[in-house]
Amino acid sequence: MAKALDFLRERAVEKNGALIVPFFACREAARESGITPREAEALALENGICPSRYERNVGAIGMEGQAKLLRSRAAVVGCGGLGGWVIEILARSGVGELVVFDGDVFEDGNLNRQMLADEENIGTSKAEAAAKRVESVNGAVSISAFSKRLDGTNAAALLSGCGVVVDATDSNSARREIFKVCRELGIPFIHGAIGGFFGQTGVFFPEDEPHWLVDEASDEGAELETGCPAFTPPFIASLQAAEAVKLLAGLDCQANGTLLWFDIGRYDMQKIKMGR
């Protein structure tokens, strides 16, 4: 570690009162010292040196917060409309380890809104596409991609060690099943749902009572009737990713226990405090 830190210090330059090191110097330090790129970047941050790729992050979340992100593990359940954008943002933000799940493959109808879908990968695994995308966006982030559904039979083992679980599912039954495991493991659950011009998100802790937890809640989303234009998924996914980053970075500004509901068409928003 000392060798890697000396290497990074030698290549850091002062910029606007901060020490910045090119991110490719972190890669070189990792190779020379036999550590991972993530370890090299975290080492730099924990010693007051910012890898250049995170220069625009630290003004908002700080060096300590960025280091915490690199040391963290987050799960994203679903790699489609919401999940693809959430994964993109978390990887660019520097969340060190991602665990993603989706048993589906891309279809033509995904092309209008899903960040990971393109004309060349129709019929291929969404989870595998997520892994390839993360590797190309941020090589310091490790990703475990599972081309299968997460449910009560496998969730406890696969979610163990995660700091947050991001909901990019498409049914309330799936949410109930996964939230039950999150309760048992003590993991915050970041809910998201979309349909047409509408979207909602909220952060729910184990002691919270989300609105979709009751058995009477409909299992089908509004998307089946209202469709889903290209702009709704990234809007809600950005809010979900922001909450994940704040939680993982240890920032004291989360919207826990509150459901945020948006009508993008009418520019209307409602905040609904959920009971416990």
| Domain layout of the chain by residue ranges | 2-68, 72-273
What's residue 218's pLDDT? 65
Question: Does residue 103 surpass a pLDDT of 70?
Answer: yes
Locate all alpha helices (DSSP H) within 145-260, ordered by sequence. 155-159, 172-185, 223-226, 232-248
pLDDT, average across residues 2-9: 94
The amino acid at residue 165 is V
Q: Are strands 49-51 and 164-167 parallel, antiparallel or unpaired?
A: unpaired
Window from 21-25, 208-212, 246-250 with minimum mean pLDDT: 208-212
Instruction: Decide: helix, strand or coil at residue 33.
Output: helix
Spatial distance between the Cα atoms of 194 and 82, rounded to a whole number of angstroms: 8
Backbone phi and psi for residue 164, each to the nearest 5 degrees, phi listed first: -150, 155
Q: pLDDT value at position 122? A: 98
Going by pLDDT thresholds of 50, 70 and 90, the confidence category of residue 219 is low
pLDDT of residue 257: 78
Instruction: Kindly give the interhelix angle for 23-33 and 2-11, rounded to the nearest 10 degrees.
Output: 150
Q: Is 108 exposed, middle or buried (0-12, 13-18, 19+ CB in 10 A)?
A: exposed
124 or 274, higher pLDDT: 124
Per-residue pLDDT band for 254 (boundaries 50, 70, 90) equals: low
Q: 196's torsion region: left (phi>0), alpha (psi -120 to 50) or beta? A: left
CA 165 to chain centre: 8
Classify 72-273 by CATH class: alpha beta
Q: What's the Cα-to-Cα distance from 121 to each of 17, 124, 125, 135, rounded to whole Å?
A: 45, 5, 8, 17
Examine the pLDDT at 222 and tell me if it is beyond 70. Answer: no
The encoded tokens of residue 100 equal 């993603």
Share of the chain above pLDDT 90, in %: 86
pLDDT digits (tens, 9 = 90+) for 116-171: 999 999 999 999 999 999 999 999 999 999 999 999 899 999 999 999 999 999 99
Least Cα distance to 100 among 185, 158, 171 occurs for 158
Using alpha carbons, select from 145, 100, 116 the residue that is nearest to residue 233.
116
pLDDT of residue 217: 59
Cα distances from 183 to residues 87, 117, 170, 175, 216, in angstroms, run 23, 32, 20, 12, 20
> Side by side, which strands form the sheet with 49-51?
13-15, 18-21, 49-51
Report the share of the chain in percent with pLDDT over 70: 95
Q: Which amino acid is at 260?
A: L
Given this model, what pLDDT does residue 224 score? 67
Q: What is the pLDDT of residue 221?
A: 58
- What mean pLDDT do residues 92-119 have? 98
The per-residue pLDDT for 220 is 63
Mean pLDDT of 7-35: 95
The CA angle 25-29-30, to the nearest 5 degrees, is 115
pLDDT reported for residue 203: 95
Q: What is the spatial distance between Cα 30 and Cα 114, in angstroms, rounded to a whole number?
A: 34
